[in-house]
């Protein structure tokens, strides 16, 4: 669903986001736990689609995820840009 607060994605952005969503959750991979849910594209900066990382529902919006208390990031000793770097490495 397109947000009213940001412009529609360009063709290049849609293609990139499609690649990101097709990946396994980057947090689950690094934590060596199975990914149960499909990945969504988490934008590190709103509207910057090339700064997106693949995250499952739990790692994205769950209690321990990047929109929660960030427990998973603390366990990994990483921030969202470290996850972005790892995502690009695996693309």
Give 19's contacts (C-beta < 8 A, 6+ positions apart). Answer: 91
Note the pLDDT of residue 3: 62
Note the pLDDT of residue 2: 56
Give 12's contacts (C-beta < 8 A, 6+ positions apart). Answer: none
Note the pLDDT of residue 35: 79
> Could you tell me the pTM of the whole model?
0.89
Integer Cα distance of 86 and 47 in angstroms:
20
Would you write out the chain's pLDDT as a tens digit for each of its 91 residues? Answer: 556 677 889 999 999 999 999 999 999 999 999 877 899 999 999 989 999 999 999 999 999 999 999 999 999 999 999 999 999 999 9
According to DSSP, residue 57 is labeled H
């Amino acid at each position: 669903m397109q947000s009213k607060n940001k412009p529609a994605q360009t063709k290049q952005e849609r293609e990139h986001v499609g690649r990101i969503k097709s990946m396994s959750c980057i947090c689950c991979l690094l934590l060596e736990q199975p990914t149960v849910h499909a990945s969504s594209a988490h934008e590190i900066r709103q509207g910057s689609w090339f700064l997106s990382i693949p995250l499952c529902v739990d790692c994205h919006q769950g209690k321990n995820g990047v929109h929660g208390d960030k427990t998973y990031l603390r366990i990994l000793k990483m921030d969202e840009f470290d996850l972005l770097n790892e995502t690009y490495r695996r693309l």
